[in-house]
Amino acid sequence: MFINRRKKELNLKIVYYGPALSGKTTNLQRIHAQTRPNLRGELISLKTREDRTVFFDYLMLELGAVAGLRPRFNLYTVPGQVYYASSRKLVLRGADGVVFVADSHPQRMKANREAMMDMQKYLQELGYNPATVPLVVQFNKRDLTTAMPIPALRSTLQLNGQHLCFEASAIQGQGVFDTLRAIIKKVMVQVQGNLQASAASRG
Amino acid sequence: MPSLPREINFSIQHLERIVAHLKQMRLETNAYCVLLADQNGQLIESVAGENAPNTDEISVLAAGELAATREIARLLGEARFQFLLHEGERKNIYLSDVSGEMMLITVFNRKAPIGLVRLWTRNISKQLDHIILEARTEEQDNQALDDTFSQLVLDRLDRSFWQ
């Protein structure tokens, strides 16, 4: 979070994390395509020639003035491929909230589990408490006829009832906005709580 | 997230001083834009002319570049590289580390002497160092947000998205 009080901006960072090809970039592409052009920047993608994310994708949403402050949401994806581990950790740095995009394909359960474990490890290494970081889980690719049942996905990712989860088909645009709205809500609640605590501690 | 490194909390006065330094840098080097951003790519302040690129996007990409360059330095046994320079046919970009946690970015005309940009980068970086140190050590005084703020943001978001 960065508040620029001169420009009255509230800058927040949300990272879409998940295994390779789970649909992180597709989420951002959908958000870019479906947001009013005056409220979003360009979708920046650092890709390989094979169209795979090499470092990150980036999209800014700027919603205009709200109660005298301009909230700006910096949305990032991490590269999912195994050998870009250090990039994933770098992109997570400074995150205010995380969307974990899980792949519903039955053959991707191991990749889902490993990505979740890696994410928690990196968050910890970066000084976060993984239990308190605003997190929303998206079960993507629900349009697949072979999609794993939700309870099996929950069990694979070791999610309890407290985790906020959404079913999605990012390629069809379903669930993308609900996921974004949920993480923004969680991040805002956390930011508000932190600022109130900080104000209270100053008396 | 109490264990996170303390965020730098710039006051309006700090930000005004930063802008004044960036303006001076732009004036002296006739740059298209001069930016101060943190190493996560978060733009802190910028001054830009009419034909300047999108400064938010430049910050984000520059942060990626510096992160990759830091890793290259590590592989070569160097503590860090002082700066990065890209020369184009018409425009150049100069990225420089400030205080080990920020970066100063200057986009300038190919005709401007690179030595001049280096000189001013060094001068302005020292001034920015002082401000960053001050901001880091001063008491944070962020105002709490109004209770309805989150809901207002969500309402605005709902109107921003075509379902």
Most confident of the ranges B64-68, B111-115, B135-139: B111-115
State the pLDDT at residue A161: 79
Say if CB B93 and CB B86 are below 8 A apart: yes
B7 touches chain A (CB under 8 A): yes
Q: What is the pLDDT of residue B3?
A: 38
B9 neighbourhood in chain A, CB within 8 Å = 3
CB of B6 less than 8 A from some CB of A = no
B145 neighbourhood in chain A, CB within 8 Å: 67, 69, 191-192, 195-196
pLDDT tens, position by position, B1-17? 333 455 788 999 999 99
Q: Which residues of A touch B1 (CB under 8 A)?
A: 127-129, 132-133, 194
| pLDDT for B1 | 39
Examine the pLDDT at B29 and tell me if it is beyond 60: yes
pLDDT score of A127: 94
Contact state of B1 with A55 under an 8 Å Cβ cutoff: no
Chain A contacts in chain B segment 56-85 (CB below 8 A): 56-57, 60-61, 64, 67-68, 71
**Residue A121 pLDDT:** 95
* Rounded distance between C-alpha atoms, residue A100 and residue A27, angstroms: 11
Q: Is the pLDDT of residue A60 over 90?
A: yes
Specify whether the backbone of B95 is left (phi greater than 0), alpha (psi in -120 to 50) or beta: beta
pLDDT score of B4: 46
Contacts of B3 in chain A (CB under 8 A): 127-129
- Tell me how far apart the alpha carbons of residues A58 and A75 are, in angstroms, rounded to a whole number: 6
Contact at CB, A66 and B152, closer than 8 angstroms: yes
Q: What share of chain A is helix, strand, coil (3-state, %, to 5)?
A: 40, 30, 30
Round to whole Å and give the CA distance between A13 and A128.
Answer: 14
C-alpha atoms less than 13 angstroms from C-alpha of A54 in its C-beta half-sphere:
11
How many beta-carbon contacts under 8 Å exist across A and B?
133
Alpha helices in B45-148 (DSSP H): 55-75, 114-137
d(CA A93, CA B8): 15
Tell me the pLDDT band of B148, cut-offs 50, 70 and 90: confident
Chain B stretch 93-122, residues whose beta carbon is closer than 8 A to a beta carbon of chain A: none
Q: Sheet holding B43-48: strands in order across? A: B43-48, B33-38, B102-109, B91-98, B83-87
User: Which ipTM score applies to this complex?
Assistant: 0.86
Name, in order, each residue with C-beta under 8 angstroms of B103's C-beta and a sequence gap of 6 or more.
Answer: B36, B37, B38, B39, B62, B63, B66, B95, B96, B97
Confidence of residue A54 (pLDDT cuts 50, 70, 90): confident
Name which residue leads in pLDDT, A109 or A86: A109
